[in-house]
Each structure stands twice: as C-alpha cells, then as structure tokens.
A and B are shown apart, each in its own frame.
Chain A
Amino acid sequence: MEIIDILLAASFWEAAIRIATPLIFGVLGALVCERAGVLNLGIEGIFTAGAMAGWMAVWLGAGLWAGVLVAALAGAFFGLIHAILTVPLGLSQHVSGIGVTLLATSLSYFTYRTALPDVSSPPRIEPFRPLDIPFLSDLPFIGQALFSQTAMTMLALVLVFVTGWVLYRTPLGLAIRAVGDNPSSVEAQGLSVYGLRIGAVVVGSSLMALGGAFLTMSAFDAFFFGMINGRGWVCIALTVFASWRPGKALIGALLFGAFDAFQVRLQTEVGAFLPSQVFLMMPYILSIIALIVVARKADYPKALLVPWFKGQR
C-alpha cells in the first residue's frame, strides 16, 4: 500500500521535521509566555518580523548566526511592547496581542518595500546548509531524517531540552510557573511579578522570532509577503495541545509536520480525485481534532489572561 511506503520513507520524516522546526520555536515561545500568565497573540507578527529581520541582516552582509541574533532581537522588541502593555499597564492580552501582530507584520512589509522598491523577484541569500556530521549523517534512515537537517533545526531540538530544564529544574523556572498560577505567591516571597512576566514575554517572543528566521534563512532563501501563513496561530493551538510542556510541544509540532508532509505526498498519489485544497486543509483539520481530544481536559495556567496590579489582591 502506498500510504505505508510514504510513512516508511526517510525523506518523509526529513520533511516532517523540517516543517515542524518553526513550529517548535513558536510553541516553545508561546508556552514560556503563557506559563508566566501572558497570552501572546503577537506571535504571527513576531514570526514575520523575525523572518524579515534575520533575512535582511544577512542580505545586507551579516553572517547567518548574526542574522539569527538580529531576528531574536526583533522578536524581543515586539515582545517588550506586548509585555509593557499587558503586564504593568494590564491591558487586554487579546487586543494587545492582535495589535502587535498587525504592527509587526506591517512594519516588516514596510521595511522590505522601502529597502527594495523596484525588485520584482525577491533577492536570495545563501541560507543554512544541511549538516553533514561525520558518521551520524551517514546512518541509515535517521541519518537522512534527522542528522541532515540544518543547524537551526538542531538548535530548536536543543531548545526543547533547555526550556524543559529551565522550567522544571531551576529556581527561575519555579518562579515562572508560580507567577502564571498565582502572582501573589511570588510577590509574597519578595520576587517581582512584573520582572518575571516581562522577562518571560521578551524571551518567549525571541524564540517565536527564531521560528520566522528559520523560514527565510533555512527552509527558503528569501522573504515573501504572506509567507508565515498562519503558522503563529497554529503554535497557539499547539501550546494547548502540549499542556504547556516542552516535551509535548515537540510531539505536537512533529505531528503537525507529519500531517503536512503527508498531505503533500498524498496529493501526488491520489490528487486526481480531489481538489488540492482538500489536502491543504488536512493538517489543520487533524490538529483541530487532536486539540478537541486533548484540550478538553487542558489545565490552563490559572493566572493566564488575568492582569495583576501591585498592592491589590
């Protein structure tokens, strides 16, 4: 049966992991913000800003890793705007997040158009190359599926582990988990609620921006309008699917990546019978179904969306 053949091919898993990579960055970023009690709907715009800023830095002559850093800083900038609006000022996290998405997206397009007023086809950069790790990349199956990805995919996988370690093994992670559940518990112990929340949103937003940067600097080699295409929103849903846990976030992102890689292959196999849009819908529909199954029992961080003001209980 062809479906089995598809699933057993190393190239299928290589694609699944590649498609999952920006989502891994995005979900990690979203869960860091939400663990601290702040929903960050700026994610879609922050993805765009990261994609634009990282690509443009490299196009202007910076090294690839310098570009990654520029993308992270762009994310941190928009994260800081969202954090200031929602944490000390206590504005609606939904409204502020959507505002940040609109602002970051428009600013990115504006910057791109201003810098490149007359180009008809987007200029290309030299992106991250697939790794060629001695021995590991030559392993059968897993060598192609995992160890021939780019360095940014490796970075995403390492960050899953780092985020998990920080959240569950360090005093800082303890404080972040506490501030997302009951900010008063943190304040009563002499820690700064605002400091922790702003810090978490800024760092989380940088992670999101890396997801955008992966698209322009690793998956593709140029910046296009509309290239984020809802990936940020998918991350928000995957965060719930992951119950705010980095390990499950990885599984969720891989699952989505696998669905997406699968539908592309399925299109070529049975595409004659159905319009292509049906296949494009598939990963989203499957995500919604997975979300319904898992998220019904979701244990939201209790202080998520709840603004906290000093001296008020």
Chain B
Amino acid sequence: MSSAAQTSQQTSQDLLLALAGITKRFGPLIANDAIDLTVHKGEIVALLGENGAGKTTLMNILFGHYVADEGTVTVAARDGNLEQLEPGAPQAALDAGIGMVHQHFTLAENLTGLDNIVLGTEPIFRLRRDRTKARAKLAELMAGSGLNVDLDQPVHKLTVGEKQRVEILKALYRDARLLVLDEPTAVLTPQEADSLFAVLRKLAQNGLAVIIIAHKLAEVLAVSHRIAVLRGGKKVGEMMTSDADHRSIAELMVGREVPVSRRIAREPGQPVLTLSDVTIDRGDSRRSLHGVSITAHEGEILGIAGVSGNGQAALAQLIAGLDKPDHGSVEIFGQKVEKFDAHQFAQNGIARIPEDRHHDGMVGSMTVAENIAIEDVRNAGYQKFGFLDFEAIRKRAEHAITDYDVRCPGPDAPARLLSGGNIQKLILARVLEKSPKLILANQPSRGLDVGAQSEVHRRLLEARQNGAAVILISEDLDELLTISDQIAVIHAGHITPAMATDTIDRSELGLMMAGQKKTHHAPTNQKTTTHSGETA
C-alpha cells in the first residue's frame, strides 16, 4: 500500500493526536497500561483487540467520558499548535474536532437525516430553523466524500448503511478532524462495507484522520494504513498494514495460536428436517417467508446466508416450533408435523442457539446453574419428590463450567455478570449436553471475539461430526464459508436452493445476499428438494 509508506514519513507537523502513557485502573484491574498511540492527518489507523482488550476504555478516555490515571492526550489545535486536551470533558473533545460513530447509532429515528445532523448545532431557543446554510454545507460534504444519502427521509426508512452515512455526516458537519468508528462493518453487507471503505479512503485523502476499532482482520487489512494491537490493556504490537499478515495479527490479538476450524469430510446422513414450499405471510418482509424449501441432513451444516431482517427471524421461529406455516409442510425425520409446539419440537431433539443471547438465551437474574438447567426442569433427573433437586442442578452446572470453559465465579453467580462469549459458552453447554438431533444456530458468533468465535465453531463442527444436523443462520461470510457444508441465501423471505460450499464464489454470495443477482447452482445432494425456493 503506497499511502502507508507515505504516512510513515509524515513529519510531526502532520501529527493530529498523541496519546502518551495512558493508564487507567478500575480497582485491581488495569484496563489500559501505559498505551501510546499517535494519529496523523490523512491516516487511517486500525485499533485491534479482543473484547476486553481495552479499546473502548481508551476511546472513552479520548472522548472525556473517563479520566486517565496517568498519561496525556494531546491534540493539534486548528492552528497547528499541540495542546493538551482537558481530561474528562466530552465537550472539549467535540470542540477539538473529534467525532465518534458508535456501533449502536445515536440517531432519532422519527426525525429526518438532516434534523439529526443539525440537532444541537444551532441555538436552541429560536423561533425558526434555518436550513439553507446547513443544506449547502452538507451538499458540499457529500460531494467531497461520496457519502450520498437522502437527508429528507425519516431515519427509520433508511437502510443500516445509510444510517451509518448520516452518522458520519453528523461528525463531518461539526468539522471533525478525527473520526473514530467503533466496529463500523459489524452491521453491513460486504458491498456496503466496501463502499464505506471507499468513502473513508477519500476522506483520508482530504486530510481526515480515522481510527477504526475492529476485531475483524480482513477488513482492516483492506483499509488501514497502520495497525495497533491491544491485548489485556497493553499495546502488544504496532505495524504498517503493508507489513502485516492475517495470521500473525490474529496471534498477536489472542496471545496464542488460534485453532483453525476445519471441516472433516463426512457423508451426510438422513434428512432431519425438511421444509417444503413453506409460506408464512405476516405482511412484513422481515417476518415472512415465501415458498421456502430446505432440508437439513444428519452430519451436515447448512448455512443460511443473508443480511439480518430478511426473514431469518421467521425461519428461526418456525424451526423452533414457535410459529406455523400458512402453506407448505414441515417434516421431522420424515414425519409431517401437525402440531406446532415448542415443547414438542424440543422433545424431538431440536435445540436452538438464539440470536439475541442476552434476551432470549438466558435469564440474567438467575444463577449460572439455573440457566443451564432451565430448559430441562421437567426432566425427572432434576426433580426429587416433585421439587427441584438443586444438588443435581449444581452438579451438572459444575461439569458444564469445566467442560465448556465458562469463565464465571461459580455456578451460583448471577448469569448477567458473564461476558458475551461466556454466555454463549453457557448456552452451548445447555444445548449440546442433550446431544440434539438438530441445532438451530442463529448468529452464534456475532459480537464474539476471535477466541470465543473459534470455540463456537469447534463445538458446532464437533456436533456435526457426531451426527447432528446444524442450521447456521449467519451474516458472516467467513464463518459460513469455513464451517458450512451447504449454503443457501435468504433475501426478502425467499431462500435459494442450497449450494455446496466448495462451489461458491465469495463475491457472488455477497451480491446474492444483497438480492441483486440470482444464479442457480444445481442443488448438490439435496435429495428431497423437489421444488426450490424460487424467487422472482
């Protein structure tokens, strides 16, 4: 990358931001340990690290939400002089031209994009709003950056990618000179991510400095000039992107070798679950399915690729027995399902890893042990004279905690204290201990760091090896291509026929997820699929 070489020779007069020796302690925990970081004008720096590595703490110090115990934050003022930023003053950071795009957008959905951008930039007690100047400035910004979005639409009508553009425009409108993006691609399709990167490159050429906080490697390699890696609160490495490679950074982040998940070739067995021409019409494309036919086989992982909000929720509800189709049929082990009942489905060996693990996967105020037993309290093994047998429940929990490496203070700790990765391990333990016939895994590794992600993949592959069928609903192409045997694409409630993973081209998959193009691979070993989910 030629621009990377350029920035390495940048002189100190291009220096925009310097964090020096930042240390922050929370009680005995050292969240940031003497971290140094510099950013120059026109430079894109990727800040990499696993969850809990200290990225967020560092950015919170930069924005004045926290005060560092030691160290200084220096920002070049607009006239070029280096000035120390007042600690603990968010307004000072805003005034210094530091803009932030949070992972969860801070937009009021009932207002237009323009209103969201202008909000708070004009004196509040005024009889009128004047939008002409704002429009002119934004037109200029949009032309200069390629951030095109209809600013007169209410935000709730915009796509996720467009909302992100509004967020970036919001920062630029306030004359941001440094833009910090927190996990910007987590919610985007591959195509949207590419166009975001194009925008960021253009903005950097115009002199904007950018920090991208990320834990996905491929993306930062594509867009950044320089990479800084945090682990356990320390900066463990910094390199030019041109000198970096995927594997070495991953190891630097995790601090050990990351086991690579590989599928071991295996003949698929009998069909476990067959959906034939299933239609669920709820009047809303997010919650509807149209003529869907898929089959999950024993010992096979069937990936359902798609941008969330395209009918995955309806599919997941159906497979869990929480909803019934308007048309079409569902067969479990060749038996047509007549009664759609979640308990019945679970009895038939269907287990689920829910999409929202905090909300649907556990009860935060109950203990770890109770959460592990919660789906099986009707089993005789957990009862004694009709009452719960807490000793048995605890015993099972202790086993699960050891076997699945759930990091927690113990079986009696409230589950809400666990981190996302450990909650997912807890759910995996609950699901897999029962040796289910079919596992419905809905976005199982979303938001998890590299280590926890590889653990989820390993467990799913292990279940597949033991003969379980897995339906993996995911937006993450890397995940889908690594562990699925077959991949079908879901878009606007339609699902394409499943394609063997080895025959799939990555960029084509991205286009199909965006609903732009439908190519029909011959269904490979979809023996029972007679009519496919034809889309219009």
Contact = CB atoms under 8 A, between A and B. Distances in A.
A and B are partners in one complex rather than unrelated chains: yes
A77 to B, nearest CB: 23
B94 A190 contact: yes
Given A181-B111, A186-B119, A190-B91, A170 B126 contact: yes
B124 A175 contact: yes
A179 B129 CA distance: 18
Given A181-B108, A188-B102, A313-B102, A174 B129 contact: yes
A169 interface: yes
A182 B109 contact: yes
Nearest to A196: B124
A302 B109 contact: yes
B106 A184 contact: yes
B166 to A, nearest CB: 10
Interface in A277-313: 299, 301-302, 311, 313
A191 B124 contact: yes
B91 A177 contact: no
A177 B120 contact: no
Given A178-B116, A190-B94, A171 B123 contact: yes
A229 interface: no
Among A171, A186, A311, residue most surrounded by chain B Cβ atoms (within 10 Å): A171
A185 B125 contact: no
Contacts of A313: 102, 104
A174 B121 contact: no
Contacts of A188: 100, 102, 106, 170
Given A190-B91, A190-B94, A313-B102, A172 B124 contact: yes
A189 interface: yes
Residue among A172, A182, A191, A302 with the highest chain B CB neighbour number at 10 A? A182
Nearest to A178: B108
Contact of A185 (B94, B119, B123): B119
Given A177-B111, A181-B109, A188-B106, A172 B125 contact: yes
Contacts of A187: 106
A6 B68 CA distance: 75
A174 B111 contact: yes
Contacts of B123: 171
A311 B107 CA distance: 16
Contacts of B107: 182, 185
A185 B91 contact: no
B135 to A, nearest CB: 15
Nearest to B120: A189
Interface string B96-119: 000010101011111100011011
A170 B108 CA distance: 16
Contact of A181 (B104, B110, B129): B110
Contacts of A177: 108, 110-111
Interface residues of A, number: 24
A185 to B, nearest CB: 4
Interface centre among A172, A185, A299 (most CB of B within 10 A): A185
A301 B109 CA distance: 10
A278 B41 CA distance: 76
Given A178-B119, A186-B119, A190-B91, A302 B128 contact: no
A186 B124 CA distance: 12
Interface string A181-204: 110111111110000000000000
B128 A169 contact: yes
Interface string A153-185: 000000000000000011110110111011011
B416 interface: no
A184 B167 CA distance: 12
Nearest to A299: B110
Interface string B317-340: 000000000000000000000000
A313 B102 CA distance: 10
B518 interface: no
B152 interface: no
Contact of A175 (B94, B104, B120): B120
Contacts of A170: 125-129
Contacts of B100: 188
A179 B94 CA distance: 20
B122 interface: yes
Contacts of B357: none
B65 interface: yes
B124 A185 contact: no
Interface in A102-121: none
A191 B126 contact: no
Contact of B115 (A174, A179, A190): A174
A189 to B, nearest CB: 3
Contacts of B126: 170-172
Contacts of A299: 110
B14 to A, nearest CB: 28
A136 to B, nearest CB: 27
Nearest to A182: B108
Contact of B65 (A189, A301, A311): A311
Contacts of B116: 178, 185
A185 B65 contact: no
A185 B121 CA distance: 13
Nearest to B121: A189
- Most chain B CB within a 10 A radius of its CB, from A188, A189, A191: A188
Nearest to B122: A171
A195 B107 CA distance: 19
A187 B120 CA distance: 9
A169 B130 CA distance: 10
A175 B100 CA distance: 20
Interface string B128-154: 110000000000000000000000000
Contacts of B121: 189
Minimum-distance CB pairs A-B, first 6: A189-B120, A178-B108, A188-B106, A181-B108, A184-B106, A185-B108
9 contacts: A170-B126, A172-B124, A174-B115, A182-B106, A184-B106, A185-B116, A190-B94, A191-B120, A301-B110
Interface of A: 169-172, 174-175, 177-179, 181-182, 184-191, 299, 301-302, 311, 313
Given A170-B125, A182-B109, 18 more contacts: A170-B126, A171-B122, A174-B118, A175-B119, A178-B116, A178-B119, A181-B111, A182-B106, A182-B108, A184-B102, A185-B108, A185-B116, A189-B121, A190-B90, A190-B91, A190-B94, A191-B124, A313-B104
